[in-house]
Amino acid sequence: MKLNHANLITTEVAALAGFFTSHFGFELVAMRGKDAFAVLRGTDGFILNLMMPGKGETARYPDGFHVGFFVGKPDIVHAKQAELADAGLAPGEVQELTRGGVNSTTFYCLAPGGILVEVSSSPA
C-alpha cells in the first residue's frame, strides 16, 4: 500500500505552495479559488493538497505536528538548511540527534502558514 496524499490546512496557501515548490521539488498542479486550494505533486508522485480553513475555523495542529523530509546524506541536510537561511526563512540550527537509538542529522523550519518542516538524514 502506498501513501497517496496529505491535506494541510493553512491561511497562506500560495506562500506555502511556493515554499514547497521552490525548496522541496514539488510541482504546482492546480491553484483554485483565489489561492484557497492548491494541489502539489512531489517527484515521487505524492500529492500534497493545501487548503484554507473553513469559514469560522482556524488552521491549528497539535504540538509536535510537522512534515518530515528524509534525505540521503547529512551534507544534504546542511545544504538545505543553508538554502532556506539564504532565502530568509530562518531555519533552526542543524542538530545531531538520537531518537529511539537512531542517530540523525536534523533541522526544523517554520514554513509559511505556521507549518513546521523537518529535514533529516542518518549518518553516512
Both 7 and 45 in a single domain? yes
Tens of pLDDT along the chain (124 residues)?
888 999 999 999 999 999 999 999 999 999 999 999 999 999 999 999 999 998 888 888 999 999 999 999 999 999 999 999 999 999 999 999 888 888 999 999 999 999 999 999 987 6
Both 73 and 19 in a single domain? no
Q: Quote the number of domains for the chain.
A: 2
Both 27 and 77 in a single domain? no
Both 12 and 39 in a single domain? yes
Joined together, the cell numbers standing for residue 73 give 546524506
**Does residue 117 sit within a domain?**
yes
CATH number at residue 8: 3.30.720.120
**Does residue 59 sit within a domain?**
no
| Domain containing residue 119 | 64-124
Query: Could you give the CA distance from residue 48 to residue 50 in angstroms, rounded to a whole number?
Result: 7
Both 48 and 1 in a single domain? yes
Q: Are strands 37-41 and 102-111 parallel, antiparallel or unpaired?
A: unpaired
Write down the pTM of the prediction.
0.92
Query: Could you give the CA distance from residue 53 to residue 105 in angstroms, rounded to a whole number?
Result: 33
Number of alpha carbons in the 13 Å side-chain half-sphere of residue 8: 25
Query: Could you give the CA distance from residue 38 to residue 10 in angstroms, rounded to a whole number?
Result: 11
CATH number at residue 82: 3.10.180.10
Cβ atoms of residues 26 and 38 within 8 Å = no
